Amino acid sequence: MKRFRFVGLGLAVLLFAMTAAQAQAPAPQRGGTIRVGITQEILNLDPHVATAFSSFQVLDLVYESLLRLNPRTLQLEPNLAQSWSVSPNGLEYTFTLRRDVTFHDGSALDASDVKATIDRILDPATRSPQASFLAPVGEVTIVNPFVVKVTLKQPTPSFLALLTTPSRGIVPANFADKVGDPRVKTLGTGPYMLAEFGPGSVRLTRYERYWRKDAAGTRLPYADAVIYRVIPDAATLRAAVRSGEVDLIIGFGVDITAARPLAGVSDLRIMSVPDLSYSLVGINASKVPFTDVRVRQALSLATDRDQIVQVVYGGRGTVAGAIPPTLEEWRPLPARTLPNYRRDVARARQLLLQAGLTPPVAVKMLPIPTVPDAVQMAQVLKEQWTPAGFNVEIEQVDFATFLSRWRGSQFDTFVSLNGGAVDPDLHLYRHIHSTGSTNVFKFKDATVDQLLDQARATADQSRRVQLYTQLQRAIAEQVPFLFVAYADLFAVARTQLNGFVLSSTRSMTPLAESWLSR
């Protein structure tokens, strides 16, 4: 079992554990509309192409993967695949599909859909950021309509874990023909289906033929609909949950600063868990002067991560290394032991001089505009980097422009958030490997590539731990980008919303088992 630490917010933070009081809670009620407030606009609903957190807050309820992670324990569970087996050599994975699953148009799920999904993700024309995850796949074979076999090119211990998110969600074989533009139209197997889509609001309605049932045999989901309302201003977002305009606020703009003034409100419930996602400073390693590792090291040495945790996250976070501190079985190294982590302004300036640069060195910084923490962090970083010999210009753009420039590697540096994962291969490979599909940093290092490849293909767990220990140090030395902090994840719900579990994976799938008391 993955071991996680949970941090309380005084006496006001209520964490969702299976207590005797909850076991005696009233039976779930059907009906009603769950209203969710978020700050980030929703621009793309293609499960295999979207990258924004806001997109996946919706996609979690529309598309499903072969397996899933339990939102409480993060243990692997059956999903669209009811069972699976792995060959002794670790190369063949055989999945037996459920026979009671249909897509939202009523067509039945079968093995051809699984093959078509994997083919779509790997097709270069799709330009899927998920392609790096499925790179080990060599062949997908339809054994019979409800059994599919995936043969890998090499053993990949993380393979089952990567089949647990909607970004690898199963779509029908004729997906393109049925939906037209998958950015604005959907066709999944999830508990809710798309009714209305716009950048400021998305409405989902219950899929009446959804296959999953609760422990009492009642078909899920309980609510008639889920509406996501985009409320960009964090203060307005907090006011919306306090006044009852929304039932739940979660994600960007919901942090310790938001939680404190709401902690004493009687009809609100505050939740908090450690987040697997992390804040980062992206660095364009293909652009002079950042092609020189000494300049990237100087940026790391100029950064006071402890101060950022205090100022930006109110002390509710941990300085980030390459592996989340919550994943104890992977033995994450303490940040204080990593090279280039302890702030040293004099050493930073010395490295700039060694790289042939005369301070101040001009640096443009692009913070993601929909994440208040990132915007604030950019200001803190500008102050921190100035005495180290950098002259920072903060660029302010809208979200669509940020995404376009991020995808095109059109930046010096940027400040944003990366999603995390329970396996280091999924956590690191696509961002840092030279062939990684989201290596927008254009980073390339032969030693780091070799370690990532070896750790991905090694079946022995103890050996994988050793390799990732080497990787943590190599990443801190080569600085593909700056890991900054793992902050605590917060959500605030009205007490009439029952059953929602806040997960370190940020999954919204618990909304399928959430209900409104009336």
User: The domain that contains 265 carries what CATH number?
Assistant: 3.40.190.10
Residues 206 and 338 in one domain: no
Is the separation of the CB atoms in 402 and 368 below 8 Å?
Answer: yes
7 within some domain: no
Among the residue ranges 259-263, 305-309, 456-460, the one predicted with the least confidence is 259-263
Dihedral angle over CA of 50, 56, 58, 64, nearest 10? 100
Provide the pLDDT confidence category of residue 24 given band limits of 50, 70 and 90.
Answer: low
Does the pLDDT of residue 19 top 70, yes or no? no
Judgement on whether residues 392 and 471 belong to the same structural domain of the protein: yes
Residue 22 domain-assigned? no
Say if 16 falls within a structural domain: no
DSSP category for residue 513: G
pLDDT of amino acid 304: 98
Is the pLDDT reported for residue 6 higher than 60? no
Domain boundary among 171, 190, 214: 171
Verify that 466 and 362 share a domain, yes or no. Answer: yes
Q: Tell me, yes or no, whether 254 and 322 share the same domain.
A: no
Does some domain include residue 284? Answer: yes
Residue 309 has pLDDT above 50, yes or no: yes
Query: Is there a single domain that holds both residue 374 and residue 479?
Result: yes
- Which one, of 410, 319, 406, lies nearest residue 51 by Cα? 406
pLDDT of residue 17: 40
512 pLDDT more than 80: yes
Tens digits of per-residue pLDDT, 367-423?
Answer: 999 888 999 999 999 999 999 999 999 999 999 999 999 999 999 999 999 988 899
Q: Looking at the structure, do residues 188 and 266 belong to the same domain, yes or no? A: yes
Poorest-pLDDT segment among 3-7, 211-215, 404-408, 481-485: 3-7
In this structure, the answer to whether residues 330 and 479 fall within a common structural domain is: yes
Q: What is the CATH number of the domain that holds 404?
A: 3.10.105.10
Cα(193)–Cα(186) distance, integer angstroms: 8
Residue 491 has pLDDT above 70, yes or no: yes
Question: pLDDT at position 460, please?
Answer: 92
Residue 257 lies in a domain: yes
* pLDDT tens digits along 109-125: 999 999 999 999 999 99
Are 451 and 480 in a shared domain? yes
pLDDT above 90 as % of the chain: 85
The Cβ of residue 384 has, within 10 Å, a number of other Cβ atoms equal to 21
Residue 199's SS3 state is coil
Residue 392 to residue 38: CA distance in whole angstroms: 30
Whole-number pLDDT of residue 289: 98
Q: How many domains does the chain have?
A: 3
- Per-residue HEC secondary structure of 165-178 comes to CHHHCCCCCCHHHH
- Please name the helix (run of DSSP H) or strand (run of DSSP E) that holds residue 404, with its range, or none: helix 399-407
**Closest C-alpha to 395, from 387, 385, 405:** 405
The mean per-residue pLDDT over the stretch 27-52 comes to 94
Q: Quote the tokens at residue 518.
A: 């009336």
For helices 293-302 and 461-478, give the axis angle rounded to 10 degrees: 90
164 and 186 share a domain? no
Q: For the chain, how many residues are written?
A: 518
In the predicted model, is pLDDT for residue 11 greater than 90? no
Beta bridge partners of 394: 365
Indicate if 343 and 482 belong to the same structural domain. yes
What is the predicted pLDDT for the residue at 25? 63
Mean pLDDT of the chain: 92
Domain around 76: 67-171
Specify whether 194 is located in the same domain as 76: no
pLDDT of 21 > 80? The answer is no
Looking at the domain assignment, is residue 225 inside a domain? yes
pLDDT at 70 over 60: yes
Stretch 183-187: mean pLDDT: 97
Q: What is the dihedral of CA 35, 41, 46, 51, to 10 degrees?
A: -120
Task: Find the CATH number of the domain harbouring 118.
Answer: 3.90.76.10
471 shares its domain with 504: no
- With respect to residue 1, please indicate whether it lies within any of the assigned structural domains: no
Any domain includes 393: yes
Q: Among 259-273, 284-298, 319-333, 417-431, which range has the highest average pLDDT?
A: 284-298
